[in-house]
Amino acid sequence: YLIIYEFMHMKYEVPALVKSVLVPTLLLVWAVIAFLVEGRNWLNNRANAHNDIRIEQAVTEGTHQ
């Protein structure tokens, strides 16, 4: 916010122009954070599913003996 506000001289512009620049920037930052969180959750769920498959295979192999 401060970078856009100061270096792009937004404090001297019309409020509608300021909003048209800041809102998409904030949405972009929010989207990056959301994708990172979603990716971390997907990775954790994938690892847990892989561990569950190994446990099921070990249990079924043990009962066939």
Asked, for residue 60, whether it belongs to a domain, the answer is yes
Domain that holds residue 43: 25-65
> What DSSP string runs through 7-47?
HTTGGGS-HHHHHHHHHHHHHHHHHHHHHHHHHHHHHHHHH
Asked, for residue 36, whether it belongs to a domain, the answer is yes
Share of the chain above pLDDT 70, in %: 72
Q: Which pair of tokens denotes residue 51?
A: 């561990």
Residue 34's pLDDT is: 96
What Cα–Cα distance (Å) separates residue 62 from each residue in 6, 50, 51? 67, 19, 17
Asked, for residue 7, whether it belongs to a domain, the answer is no
Based on the structure, what is the number of domains in the chain? 1
**Tens-digit pLDDT profile for residues 20-49:** 888 999 999 999 999 999 999 888 888 777
Question: Are the CB atoms for 45 and 57 separated by under 8 Å?
Answer: no
